[in-house]
């Protein structure tokens, strides 16, 4: 029935868009559709329209209801129309993409101060996604600000020459070249800032041109700029300035040289607006708001995720967070390939002492990654669409000597492949690899045609023969040059490839770098971005641990952006706005120095549903949880004043069990160490709420299984309490056994009267508040140890439905879900977002000691 309604809705969408509500209703009724169905279709359409509008609008937190003086482009504008023209020449053919850019950049400019104000010092932050077009967004913001009278534009373009040159080139193309008479440049493609003579020629009242300055976040360069601006102070009174800080979390926050110099530059500009841009804003959000620093006190903007963008969640999936329907949470594409831990010592030295003389070994996983890269490049040439360049990234260490050590083994591998192009054994191996990969990720799911191996052979020899091995790092003169024809390159590098710089046509990544913090990890993901014309082909080889870290990071990002969305609707400002950042046992949120002013965040379990979905599979660990569950049920059966027995449905409910029975169970039950929650935090919360609010003194204990009656499938919790085991297969993802979904919406109402299948989240909350306002619910699930997955439907998409495999545990598994009532006035929070002990973690930290070296 739902499918029929969906089909009906899709059939009449155009009619709904074309006519006003009253007219469209009449026309639908002419087709013989009942008025009730017409109303449902109309409501669906309104919901979809609102959702689309919300996706396109950037989410904002602003201070003091800032005046929105800028309402959009005007007919006399020159810079913004030029940007649009350039984007269309660069392939922006979809009007929706330009409209979204227009809307988001207009919103950001409106949050700046009017350039005619006598003095201002604005601080804002724009949060985007890695490789998602942040440069295009701030170019649009600069264009619109220039059209309205901002005069000086300083762009802090990362910490390396490569990104500075790339940013300078982009801004010249989009801003300067279309209107050369409107612009003066303090920097060029080949030079960073050097002091100019006669500041009056740039800033005097007689000069109406805009001034562009693109500089590295380098102490020597910024010191020159700060001194020059100080000398030009007599001419800056009438100079509204916009400072764009690209990669605003890098080097800007908590550095002894760069941070004070940025502040000094701002101090010399009586009218200035600082706007940081980053995809990893963790450090920026942890700046002390009370300090005279760069905390985004005036506004925070979260840009919408662009269509067809490959981001953290899209590639790695994420874990459900509070309020999610787990079945609707993205599992990620099946594009991640596992590198065994035993391969890691072959890819990078384990200690600094091992660096000298280190030579990598071409392991089976690295060989497969390189050979698949050649196959992908040939396939893209057959298709003849999208980016003409093709790049592979190998990132195993920050050490430049390690990068260099890869050249000889990789070139030997390439030379062997050139000679082996006529050998049947070699071609058979490539054919098997191609067939395996294209079977796992069908091209048809991405609107592409599957290519046969024979089609690739027309291009494969040339691809391999012309493949370059490039060492792109701070001590190498090798660089990826995309300006002189199509590139086929394997790029081996470190920090120069990890921030801002775009790897054109990146299709394969091999990543085993040891990383210490969220922001470092996220920025290493050069594979994020757009893959037009080859969305089915990218692959990433990494360790299972790294894949789990990225999956966790996708969850952190989701919670962070939800915090921004929630605070939009409340009467708060950035000075009272504190975004919670979930921690991880093996990762810092950001560098220790950047967290020195942070405090441990607190979170309440009030109104939340918590469920276990990670499990070990060894018998001893599982047996402990079985014993704990049986002890709980035996106690509940003897204490509960009311028992609801439904063995034919596989359900039991024991009402009003004392809380100490529950906390004793939670203390005995073992949560997997990767779980987002721990028994200690949950027990602490229950005890605090009992003590301070008087609620959670009583609990309902439920068992949810399948109907009993099959001896080979029954599970007994206590005498007279037997249900059939449930099936929960695991996701085919690296790391611990992850079943993803344990509790259904219906299960969350197992102890409530009047359940209806049409209930939405708000209904569950209202009914629990009405029927069981101070009572918690704990649900036990007996999960079959084999749990083979059902056959997936033929139409099951690659994304959102990652492959399932048998659970294959050594003993049956006990899943646990907890439903907490809404928080009361005396509800106590718990410290669920806590710091991790990293003292024993072996990592490579980022080194900023080179920031005084102007040649970087």
Place of tokens 């190498």: 476
Rounded to whole angstroms, the Cα distance separating 332 from 734 reads 12
Token representation of residue 647: 């063995």
Place of tokens 């227009």: 102
Question: pLDDT category, 47, cuts 50, 70, 90?
Answer: low
Summarised one tens digit per residue, pLDDT across range 149-169 is 999 999 999 888 878 998 999
pLDDT digits (tens, 9 = 90+) for 564-621: 766 555 666 676 666 777 777 677 777 777 777 666 655 678 888 889 988 999 999 9
Torsion sign (Cα): 368, 370, 373, 375: negative
CA distances from 153 to 88, 216, 217, 343, 635 (A): 24, 14, 15, 48, 70
Q: Name the percent of the chain lying above pLDDT 90.
A: 48
Sign of the dihedral defined by the CA atoms of residues 594, 569, 575, 822, in that order: negative
How much is the mean pLDDT over the chain? 84
- Alpha carbon dihedral 509, 512, 518, 523, in 10-degree steps, equals -30
Cα 303 to chain centroid, rounded: 12
Residue 52: pLDDT above 50?
A: no
Is 604 in contact with 833 (CB distance < 8 Å)? no
Q: What is the pLDDT of residue 511?
A: 92
- Calpha distance 563→323 (Å, rounded): 13
Give the mean model confidence (pLDDT) for residues 288-316. 84
| CA–CA gap between residue 249 and residue 158 (Å, rounded) | 10
Whether 839 shows a pLDDT value over 60: the answer reads no
E strand intervals along 321-452: 336-338, 390-395
Say how far apart CA 848 and CA 856 lie, in whole Å: 11
Is residue 287 pLDDT above 60, yes or no? Answer: yes
What is the three-class DSSP state of 844?
coil
Buried b (16+ CB within 10 A) or exposed e, 305-321: ebeebbbbbbbbbbbbb
Spatial distance between the Cα atoms of 701 and 715, rounded to a whole number of angstroms:
17
List Cβ neighbours of 361 (8 Å cut-off, separation of 6 or more). Answer: 346, 347, 409
Quick check: helix, strand or coil at residue 717?
strand
Do 289 and 254 meet the contact criterion of CB atoms below 8 Å apart?
no
Higher pLDDT, 242 or 57: 242
Sign of CA dihedral 327, 329, 333, 339: negative
The reported pLDDT for the residue numbered 706 is: 94
Q: Which two tokens stand for residue 244?
A: 């764009």
Contact indicator for 830, 604 with CB cutoff of 8 Å: yes
Residue-by-residue DSSP string for 472-532: ESTT-------SSS--EEEEEESGGGSSS---TTEEEEEE-----BHHHHHHH-TT-EE-T
In angstroms, the CA 453 to CA 429 distance is: 11
Mark 197-231 as b/e (b = at least 16 C-beta within 10 Å). eebeebbeeeeebbbbbbbbbbbbbbebbbebbee
> Quick check: 525 and 550 in contact, CB under 8 A?
yes
- Does residue 639 surpass a pLDDT of 90? yes
Q: What is the largest CA-CA distance in the chain?
A: 93
Strand partners for 779: 702, 817
What average pLDDT score do residues 221-239 get? Answer: 91
- pLDDT for 57 equals 55
pLDDT at 498 (0 to 100):
57
| C-alpha span between 734 and 754 (Å, rounded) | 41
Q: Give pLDDT, residue 518.
A: 83
Summarised one tens digit per residue, pLDDT across range 416-462 is 999 999 999 999 999 999 999 999 999 998 899 999 999 999 999 99
Model confidence over 99-154: pLDDT tens digits? 999 999 999 999 999 999 989 999 999 998 877 888 999 999 999 999 999 999 99
Residues, the chain: 856
**Contact (Cβ atoms closer than 8 angstroms) between residue 481 and residue 503:** no
pLDDT for 854 equals: 62
231 three-state secondary structure:
helix
Lowest mean pLDDT among 449-463, 467-481, 554-568, 825-839: 825-839
Q: Are strands 210-215 and 183-185 parallel, antiparallel or unpaired?
A: parallel
Element (DSSP H or E) covering residue 215 = strand 210-215
Question: Which of 10-14, 351-355, 644-648 is predicted most confidently?
Answer: 644-648
Q: Count the alpha carbons within 13 Å of 813 in the hemisphere toward its beta carbon.
A: 30
CA distances from 764 to 71, 700, 761, 778, 823 (A): 42, 16, 5, 15, 15
Q: Residue 78: how many CB atoms within 10 A of its CB?
A: 13
Question: How far separated are the first and last CA of the chain, in Å rounded?
Answer: 63
Query: Are the beta carbons of 512 and 339 closer than 8 angstroms?
Result: yes
Q: Cα–Cα distances in Å, from 186 out to 151, 253, 391, 662, 744?
A: 13, 25, 33, 68, 61
Rounded Cα distance between 476 and 470, Å, is 9
Q: 711, 729, 689: which is closest to 818 by C-alpha? A: 689
Distance CA 855, CA 474 (A): 9
- Interatomic CA distance for residues 258 and 220, integer angstroms: 9
CB-side neighbour CA atoms (13 Å) of 344 = 16
Distance of CA 745 to the CA centre of its chain: 26
Q: Give 808's pLDDT tier (boundaries 50, 70, 90).
A: very high
| Beta-strand pair 601-603/390-395 | unpaired
The top-scoring range by mean pLDDT among 196-200, 511-515, 537-541 is 537-541
Q: Residue 852 and residue 840: Cα distance in Å, rounded?
A: 31
- Cβ–Cβ under 8 Å, residues 264 and 293: no
The predicted model gives 526-537 an average pLDDT of 84
Question: In what order do the strands lie in the sheet containing 776-783?
Answer: 609-611, 813-819, 776-783, 698-704, 651-658, 642-646
Query: Which token pair is 188?
Result: 């060029």
**By three-state DSSP, how is residue 682 classified?**
helix
| Residue 525 structure tokens | 């993901």
pLDDT band at residue 50 using 50, 70 and 90 as cut-offs: very low
The DSSP output letter for 711 is T
Q: Return all residues near 725 (Cβ < 8 A) that are at least 6 apart.
A: 705, 706, 713, 714, 715, 782, 783, 784, 812
Q: What is the DSSP letter of 353?
A: G
Cα angle, residue 795 at apex, residues 792 and 798 outer, rounded to 5°: 80
Which of 71-75, 518-522, 580-584 has the least mean pLDDT? Answer: 580-584
CA dist., res. 188 & res. 165, Å (int): 8
- Distance, in Å, from the CA atom of 479 to the CA atom of 169, rounded to the nearest integer, reads 16
Nearest to 668 by CA among 780, 558, 763: 780
The whole-number pLDDT of residue 270 equals 94
State how far the Cα of 254 lies from the Cα of 633, in Å rounded to an integer: 53
User: In this structure, are residues 24 and 15 in contact, taking their beta carbons and an 8 Å threshold?
Assistant: yes
Identify the burial level of 512 via C-beta atoms within 10 angstroms of its C-beta, where 0-12 means exposed, 13-18 middle and 19 or more buried.
Answer: buried
Residue 28: what pLDDT?
A: 64
Q: What is the DSSP letter of 207?
A: -
The pLDDT tens digits for 768-795 are 999 999 999 999 999 999 999 876 554 4
């Amino acid at each position: 029935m739902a499918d029929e309604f969906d089909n009906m809705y899709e059939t009449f969408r155009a009619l709904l868009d074309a006519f006003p509500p009253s007219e469209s209703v009449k026309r639908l009724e002419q087709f013989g559709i009942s008025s009730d169905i017409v109303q449902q279709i109309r409501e669906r359409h309104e919901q979809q329209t609102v959702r689309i509008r919300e996706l396109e609008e950037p989410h904002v937190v602003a201070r003091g209801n800032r005046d929105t003086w800028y309402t959009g482009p005007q007919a006399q504008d020159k810079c913004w129309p030029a940007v649009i023209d350039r984007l269309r020449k660069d392939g922006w053919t979809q009007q929706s993409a330009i409209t979204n850019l227009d809307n988001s950049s207009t919103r950001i400019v409106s949050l700046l101060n009017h350039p005619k104000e006598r003095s201002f010092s604005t601080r804002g932050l724009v949060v985007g996604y890695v490789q998602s077009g942040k440069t295009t967004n701030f170019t649009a913001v600069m264009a619109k600000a220039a059209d309205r009278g901002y005069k000086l534009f300083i762009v802090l373009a990362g910490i390396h020459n490569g990104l500075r040159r790339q940013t300078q080139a982009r801004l010249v193309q989009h801003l300067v070249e279309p209107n050369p008479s409107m612009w003066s440049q303090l920097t060029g493609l080949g030079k960073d800032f050097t002091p100019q003579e006669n500041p009056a020629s740039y800033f005097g009242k007689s000069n109406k041109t805009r001034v562009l300055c693109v500089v590295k976040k380098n102490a020597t360069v910024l010191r020159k700029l700060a001194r020059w601006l100080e000398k030009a102070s007599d001419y800056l009174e009438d100079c509204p300035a916009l400072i764009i800080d690209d990669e605003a979390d890098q080097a800007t926050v908590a550095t002894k040289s760069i941070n004070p110099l940025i502040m000094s530059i701002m101090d010399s500009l009586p009218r200035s607006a600082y706007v940081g841009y980053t995809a990893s804003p963790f450090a920026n959000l942890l700046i002390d708001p009370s300090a005279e620093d760069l905390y985004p006190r005036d506004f925070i903007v979260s840009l919408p995720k662009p269509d067809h963008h490959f981001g953290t969640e899209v590639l790695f999936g994420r874990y459900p967070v509070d309020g999610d329907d787990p079945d609707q949470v993205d599992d990620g594409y099946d594009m991640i390939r596992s590198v065994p831990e035993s391969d890691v010592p072959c890819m990078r030295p384990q200690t600094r002492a091992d660096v000298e003389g280190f030579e990598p070994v071409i392991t089976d996983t690295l060989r497969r990654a390189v050979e698949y890269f050649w196959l992908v490049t040939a396939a893209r040439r057959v298709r003849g669409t999208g980016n003409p360049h093709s790049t592979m990234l190998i990132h195993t260490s920050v050490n430049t000597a390690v990068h260099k050590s890869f050249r000889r083994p990789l070139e030997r591998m390439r030379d062997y492949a050139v000679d082996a192009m006529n050998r049947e054994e070699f071609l058979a191996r490539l054919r098997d690899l191609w067939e395996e990969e294209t079977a796992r990720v069908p091209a048809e799911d991405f609107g592409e045609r599957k290519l046969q191996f024979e089609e690739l052979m027309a291009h494969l020899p040339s691809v391999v023969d012309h493949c370059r091995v490039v060492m792109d790092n701070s001590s190498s003169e090798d660089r990826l040059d995309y300006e002189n024809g199509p590139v086929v390159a394997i790029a081996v590098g470190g920090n120069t490839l990890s921030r801002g710089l775009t790897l054109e046509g990146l299709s394969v990544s091999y990543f085993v770098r040891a990383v210490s913090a969220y922001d470092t990890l996220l920025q290493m993901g050069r594979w994020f971005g757009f893959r037009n014309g080859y969305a089915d082909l990218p692959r990433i080889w990494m360790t299972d641990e790294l894949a789990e870290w990225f999956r966790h990071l996708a969850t952190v990002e989701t919670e962070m952006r939800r915090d921004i969305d929630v605070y939009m609707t409340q009467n708060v400002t950035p000075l009272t706005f504190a975004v919670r950042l979930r921690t991880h046992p093996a990762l810092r949120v950001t560098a220790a120095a950047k967290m020195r002013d942070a405090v441990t965040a607190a979170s309440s379990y009030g109104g939340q549903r918590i469920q276990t979905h990670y499990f070990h599979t060894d018998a001893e660990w599982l047996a402990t949880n079985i014993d704990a569950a049986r002890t709980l049920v035996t106690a509940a059966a003897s204490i509960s004043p009311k028992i609801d027995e439904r063995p034919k449905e596989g359900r039991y409910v024991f009402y009003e069990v004392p809380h100490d029975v529950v906390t004793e169970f939670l203390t005995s039950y073992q949560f997997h160490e990767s779980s987002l929650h721990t028994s200690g935090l949950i027990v602490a919360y229950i005890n605090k709420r009992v003590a301070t609010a008087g609620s959670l003194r009583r609990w309902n204990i439920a068992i949810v299984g399948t109907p009993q009656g099959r001896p080979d499938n029954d599970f007994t919790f206590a005498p007279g309490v037997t249900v059939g085991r449930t099936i929960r297969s695991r996701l085919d993802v690296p790391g611990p056994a992850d079943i993803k979904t344990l509790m259904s919406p219906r299960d969350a109402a197992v102890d409530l009267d009047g359940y209806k299948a049409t209930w939405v989240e708000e209904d569950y909350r209202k009914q629990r508040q009405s029927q069981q306002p101070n009572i918690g619910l704990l649900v036990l699930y007996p999960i079959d140890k084999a749990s083979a997955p059902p056959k997936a439907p033929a139409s099951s998409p690659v994304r959102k439905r990652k492959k399932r495999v048998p659970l294959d545990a050594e003993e049956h598994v006990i899943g646990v879900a907890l439903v907490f009532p809404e928080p009361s006035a005396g509800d106590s929070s718990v410290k669920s977002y806590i710091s991790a002990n990293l003292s024993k973690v072996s990592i490579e930290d980022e080194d900023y000691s080179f920031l005084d070296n102007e040649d970087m």
